Chain A
């Protein structure tokens, strides 16, 4: 087990190397040279050259990359062009806000998905099965940023029961556990949970259904085991597949919350990324992308390891 985890970790190194190359390339994909984002277009050439030298943009690309990698590995992601604060601090505080929203949304989505999916797989009546299939279809088809707007229209504009945007009252930028902050979370959580709800419900339904048709279930029934105990065995067997999909969805939700955070002006990584793009704040763009990709990789690794722990049949070479 430990050996497997270690091997997976080592395997991550070349991938992480590739990721760092791609993130580094982001700055050079930008039209014009990176300096043009900081200086006014009519700046004298000497100033531009000085800045280029200062930031090391006059060096050949491989040198620039190695330098950037060296600095990044020490945890220094550079300085934001827009605010002058360190990128690590900016991304760090935003990341916390994103995670809180992600935890709320995944809990909601996964709980509902397991209940609905299992119910549909067990359902004798076609109505329940159809209904659940429809819910999951809507979940994967609805443009979630549009759903966010619709939720704002219904609950904030028309009914006026929930706040339309922000993380808390009066320019609050951090999250604390109180009524006002919880009320601000309701709509973004719902909007963010529809996609994982749709995808995971689909998976749970098909996996549980498949498990139910296996011979061991018939054997347990013949043996006279109570249905609730059989359900436990079925869920345990369906767990590895479902966990894999859940892990992917959780990671994608964090990357995909950009649109929802923008609609609700939620001060998370997505909101930060979006505003960085429009200020041409390339260090923030780079830093946020790197942190999110790193988190996504670690999450996938964790899910993989949990999966092998849950399912001893999985032997990985």
Chain B
């Protein structure tokens, strides 16, 4: 299902190849080596790190005040003196707002995926490892969420709960739990069938030890790769909710919200009106490429 989601769908099943846990370090070293030789992934990672650092350090970067409005300086075009990316519909400096906007936009894209990874991942591993009735109960509940197109679910939930950052985070987390849970469940079920799990059981290892050592070591990679591929979807969806007026409230700078408020300016200064979308686009494309690189480096078959 995707977000239109965009693409939350679990297309084909993910195949797990057992990685010897004793040689765990060797595996991660080879992943690191492969990543270092992948220029596209490195460039994307660099851009993303730059964006994150810029938004964290925004208050110390000598930027203009992103909240300071000016009726006289509204909708300055790009390249104006003192405002080299122009000003928005209320005369606020665009460059400062785009940099500050990254704080909320990135936060609201990454946080739901991390929360969903913790909750959905645990539920999925539990369902896959325990199996039986527990599996049935958990997966049937997930099926209910799968009956909604993800964008619809996010919008209906935020719409009912009302606008606001916390509500958006909550509804997005709910949207991402089912797909992550499904992937976790399917890879865990596969790993449970491997001989080394039986061997560990026979040697008297506790269920906790088996999960910690044998299962997690083998399923974490595929689950993580899948979760990173959801971040770009989450960023677009979070921006979309703010764009509809269901997420961040004005006057906070956030890319989706800026795109919405600047819509009235498309007849006056069209290039300016499109700028926040460029930021979303760059971020989401980098996350997608990085996720692809990670998948290749970790040798996860999608």
Which residues of A pack against B, CB within 8 Å?
Answer: 14-16, 18-19, 21-22, 26-27, 29-31, 137-138, 140-147, 149-150, 152-153, 157-158, 195-196, 198-199, 203, 241, 244-245, 248-249, 251-256, 258-259, 262-263, 273-274, 276-278, 282, 285, 289, 292-293, 296-297, 300
Contact = CB atoms under 8 A, between A and B. Distances in A.
B interface: dominant SS: helix
A172 B161 CA distance: 32
B240 A259 contact: yes
Contacts of B6: 140, 195, 198-199, 252, 256
Contact of A141 (B148, B152, B161, B285): B285
A238 to B, nearest CB: 12
Given A141-B288, A195-B4, A146 B259 contact: yes
A19 B144 contact: yes
Nearest 8 pairs of A and B residues by beta carbon: A255-B149, A256-B4, A146-B277, A18-B144, A255-B152, A277-B159, A252-B4, A256-B151
Interface in B219-234: 232
Contact of B243 (A19, A145, A254, A297): A145
Interface stretch (B7-15, B27-35, B54-62, B125-133): B7-15
B103 to A, nearest CB: 18
Interface in B118-144: 140-141, 143-144
Contacts, number: 177
B277 A258 contact: no
A interface: dominant SS: helix
Contact of A245 (B9, B156, B267): B9
A15 B246 CA distance: 28
A258 B239 contact: no
B151 A293 contact: no
B201 interface: no
Contact of A150 (B143, B267, B274): B274
Contacts of B274: 146, 149-150, 153
Interface in B239-285: 239-240, 243-246, 256, 259, 263, 266-267, 270, 273-274, 276-277, 280-281, 284-285
Contact of A285 (B150, B160, B270, B284): B160
A251 B8 CA distance: 12
